[in-house]
Structure 1
Amino acid sequence: MALVADLPRNEDGIATALAVLTQRFGPRVETGQALREQHAHTTTWLRNQPPDAVIFPQSTEEVQEIVRICATHQTPIIPFGTGTSLEGHVNAPAGGISLDFSQMDKILAVHAEDMDVTIQPGVTRKALNTHLRDTGLFFPIDPGADASLGGMAATSASGTCAVRYGTMKDNVLALKAVLPSGEILTSAKRARKTSAGYDLTRLIVGSEGTLGLITELTLKLQGIPEATSAATCSFPSVEAACNAVIATFQYGLPVARIELLDALQVKACNAYSKLTLPETPLLLLEFHGTEAGVTEQAEVFGEIAGEYGGTGFTFTTREEERTKLWQARHDAYWAALQLRPGAQGISTDVCVPLSRLADCVGAAQDKLAELGFTAPVVGHVGDGNFHTLLLIDMDNPDEITKAEGFVGWLNDLAISMDGTCTGEHGIGQGKAKYLERELGPAAIEMMGAIKRGVDPLNIFNPGKMRLPG
Structure 2
Amino acid sequence: MNAPADPAHLVPEVRQRPVPQALLDALHERFGGAQLSTVQAVREQHGRDESPFAVPPPAAVVFAESTPDVVDAVRLAAQYAVPVIPYGAGSSIEGQLLAVQGGISIDMGRMNKIVSLAADDLMVTVQPGMTRKQLNEEIKHSGLFFPIDPGADASIGGMAATRASGTNAVRYGTMRDNVLALEVVTASGETIRTGTRARKSSAGYDLTRLFVGSEGTLGVTTEVTLRLYPLPEAVSAAVCSFPDIGAAVRTVIETIQLGVPIARVELLDASTVRMVNAHSHLGLREEPMLLMEFHGTPAGVQEQARAVQDIAAEHGVNVKEGAFAWATTPEERTRLWAARHNAYFAGVQSRPGCRAVTTDVCVPISALAEAVLAAVEEANAAGLPYFLVGHVGDGNFHMGYLIDPDSGQERATAETLNHRLVAHALRLGGTCTGEHGIGLHKMGFLVEEAGAGAVAVMRTIKRALDPLNIMNPGKIFAL
SS at match of 1:23: helix
CA contact (8 A) 1:14 1:96 kept: no
Q: CA deviation at 1:330?
A: 0.9
1:14 aligns with 2:14: no
CA contact (8 A) 1:105 1:122 kept: yes
CA contact (8 A) 1:259 1:382 kept: yes
Correspondence for 2:166: 159
RMSD of aligned Cα (Å): 1.2
1:5 aligns with 2:16: no
TM-score between both structures, scaled by the size of structure 1: 0.97
SS at match of 2:240: strand
List aligned pairs for 1:89-108, cutoff 5 A: 89-108=96-115
Residue type of the partner of 2:36? V
Deviations 1:263-321 (A, max 9, x none): 11111112222222221111110000112221221122101111111231122341122
Choose which of 438, 444, 461 in structure 1 pairs with 2:472: 461
The separation in 2 between residues aligned to 1:278 and 1:95, in whole angstroms, is 48
List aligned pairs for 1:124-203, cutoff 5 A: 124-203=131-210
Q: CA deviation at 1:207?
A: 0.1
Choose which of 391, 399, 403 in structure 1 pairs with 2:414: 403
1:275 aligns with 2:286: no
Choose which of 397, 410, 423 in structure 1 pairs with 2:434: 423
> How many pairs were matched up?
466
The separation in 2 between residues aligned to 1:367 and 1:5, in whole angstroms, is 29
CA contact (8 A) 2:161 2:216 kept: yes
Choose which of 369, 388, 391 in structure 2 pairs with 1:377: 388
Residue type of the partner of 2:148? I
Correspondence for 2:251: 244
The separation in 2 between residues aligned to 1:397 and 1:251, in whole angstroms, is 46
Correspondence for 1:87: 94
CA contact (8 A) 1:227 1:317 kept: no
Choose which of 230, 236, 240 in structure 2 pairs with 1:229: 236
CA contact (8 A) 2:62 2:73 kept: no
The separation in 2 between residues aligned to 1:192 and 1:49, in whole angstroms, is 43
Residue type of the partner of 1:215? T
CA contact (8 A) 1:141 1:168 kept: yes
CA contact (8 A) 1:298 1:315 kept: no
Choose which of 347, 361, 376 in structure 1 pairs with 2:358: 347
TM-score between both structures, scaled by the size of structure 2: 0.95
The alignment-based identity, stated in percent, is: 53
CA contact (8 A) 1:155 1:207 kept: yes
Q: CA deviation at 1:49?
A: 2.8
Correspondence for 2:3: none
Q: Which moved more, 1:230-239 or 1:335-344?
A: 335-344
Correspondence for 2:66: 59
Residue type of the partner of 2:32? G
Q: CA deviation at 1:8?
A: 4.7
Q: Which moved more, 1:409-418 or 1:69-78?
A: 409-418
Q: Which segments of 5 or more consecutive residues in structure 1 lack a partner in the other structure?
A: none
SS at match of 1:255: coil
SS at match of 1:376: strand
The separation in 2 between residues aligned to 1:291 and 1:317, in whole angstroms, is 13
Deviations 1:216-264 (A, max 9, x none): 0100000011110001111122211111111111221111000000011
SS at match of 1:456: coil
Choose which of 100, 112, 116 in structure 2 pairs with 1:109: 116
Choose which of 363, 374, 379 in structure 2 pairs with 1:368: 379
SS at match of 2:359: strand
Deviations 1:170-203 (A, max 9, x none): 0000001001111112111110011111110000
SS at match of 1:62: helix
Q: CA deviation at 1:410?
A: 1.3
CA contact (8 A) 1:240 1:309 kept: yes
The separation in 1 between residues aligned to 2:57 and 2:348, in whole angstroms, is 26
Q: Which runs of 4+ in 1 moved over 4 A?
A: none
Deviations 1:106-143 (A, max 9, x none): 11110010010011101111111010011000100011
Choose which of 200, 206, 211 in structure 1 pairs with 2:218: 211
1:329 aligns with 2:340: yes
The separation in 1 between residues aligned to 2:252 and 2:16, in whole angstroms, is 49
Correspondence for 2:77: 70
Residue type of the partner of 2:443? A
Choose which of 394, 398, 402 in structure 1 pairs with 2:405: 394
The separation in 1 between residues aligned to 2:113 and 2:337, in whole angstroms, is 28
Deviations 1:364-400 (A, max 9, x none): 1111112111112110000111111111111111111
SS at match of 1:118: strand
SS at match of 1:284: strand
Q: CA deviation at 1:338?
A: 3.1
Residue type of the partner of 1:399? E
Q: CA deviation at 1:14?
A: 3.5
Residue type of the partner of 2:23? A
Correspondence for 1:318: 329
The separation in 2 between residues aligned to 1:19 and 1:238, in whole angstroms, is 58
The separation in 2 between residues aligned to 1:191 and 1:310, in whole angstroms, is 46
Q: Which segments of 5 or more consecutive residues in structure 2 lack a partner in the other structure?
A: 1-6
Correspondence for 2:4: none
The separation in 1 between residues aligned to 2:384 and 2:229, in whole angstroms, is 41
Residue type of the partner of 1:175? L
Deviations 1:307-358 (A, max 9, x none): 1112311223411221121111111112122332222222111111111111
